[in-house]
Structure 1
Amino acid sequence: MVTQVRSDLLQRVQMSWQDPECDQVIQSLINNTTTSKYKWNDGQFIRKGRVVVGPDLALRQELLTLMHLSSFGGHSGVHGSYKRLNSLFYWKHMKKDVRNFIRKCTTVAKVFFEQVFKLHGNPETTISDRDKIFLSKFWQELFKLQHVELLHMHTMRRLMGRQRFTLYEVVYGQSPHLHVAYVSGDSLVAVLDMSLKAREECITTLKFHLTRAQSRMKSQSDKRRTNRVFDIDDLVYVNLQPYRQYSVVYRSCNKLAPSLRNIMRIPQIIVTLPVLDDNGLIRAELVAVWERKMMKKGNHVVVYLLIQWSNGSHEDATWEPYDDIEKRFPEFQIA
């Protein structure tokens, strides 16, 4: 939030008070002949803690530019720009002026062509969350001339149904490439080795911050939760949200349906859950070791094993380092 404004702008704001209407209100405030919402405090013409801006259209445009196009404005929408401007200044019909100013703003289109079009070319479809900028006549005409179809989120949900897509698949139209970890020293080219090591360090840093963010969100969510242990045949009060729980009861419109509240008895259910790996996927169990071989890796000799997994046949066996297998499956006796 901006807390300071340039001194030259403040001087221009004070000059805008020379308008006859503003001057009349100021004189009545100085003479204590009015009880309006305006205040005259230490030479400042304010209304509810905000500085009043007179009918200077050029000044108002400059303030709109400052609060919307600057680095701290960030080309935010009508609500964000209006909230930022309204916290410091006041004039009549400010929100209408903000809306008209943003509707005429073309900087977003320039950034789009510089940051998106140059790198990826002309997109065939563009998905919007029905933001007013994307729904404006400017954007509709721009993409119409480019022969690009604008898809709103509700249209995409209808087209995709219940399918789930990652952000990468939505943007690039394909599944993300499998990341193969790079071992330092595998490449004899110094520049390539340095670049790949930097990539691995970057990925490690990203994973660290993602894990930390997930842990922070989990800790905040767990503050309202308590651990409860129930025995078989205990009676519990259940409150299920229909748009999250589909297995108990089906309704045609889940979001508008009332929540399901009922008293249920704890049944005896024995479920054997599969073992998951570090990535949350079902871990494949080691079935057999078919072969072994020795390979040179840098200045060391590494033993590899041909492993058959529980989710594949003998033809699907893969070569894995002996040390990794020994750590992951210490109970398995490797002959």
Structure 2
Amino acid sequence: MSSSYHPQSDGQTEFTPYEIVYGQPPLHIPYLPEATAVESVDRSLQAREKVIHSLRHNLSKAQHRMKQLADNQRSEREFDVGEWVYVKLQPCRQHSLRSHHCQKLSPRYFSPFQVLARVGSVVYKLALPSHVCIHDTFHVSLLKKKVGTGSIQAQIPAGIPHQGQLMVEPIAVLDRRLVKHGRVAATQVLVQWSNSFPEDATWEYLRDL
């Protein structure tokens, strides 16, 4: 009795490494204990079966764990045509500043905007103002249902690029400090950014500004 073993493909060629090298899918023929009279061969093949069984078990556990993590982050949200929703945009610093490993700027919600249509199962088309250059369709993860009569911000600011990121610029220096950078002293300033919350102020090297 034989069974096929199908490891995951590389995601690009849609073939496993075994199939690429040998031109056929891998075939696993389970070994039955004591099917051979040679003791050393029997011991080796039984050890191989244990390794394969352990490999399948560990792969199944890893897949289950990844699914649980993905499900924990997934939110089941649906909107009806005509409902009002907030749109989440991520601030992005101007490219003239040196990039840092820690971008502290928080996403902001703008709106409310009315849902015009549902495109597919997780994408919605919104009624955006004419001056906004970004695409009018958004993934459900970027939307939040409007509850009550209040609003966070009336309109999306003009001048947003097609990627849908808020371009932010330094608007004020709130504080300064002297820090050690390598073997020399350097000045850092606490910068408040446009299109961001006050608590998103970050320490930047003065020379980068």
TM-score (norm 1): 0.21
Structure exhibiting the larger radius of gyration computed from Cα positions? 1
TM-score (norm 2): 0.32
Pick 1 or 2: higher relative contact order, CA cutoff 8 A, min separation 6: 2
Query: If each structure's strand is expressed as a fraction of its own residues, which one has the higher value?
Result: 2
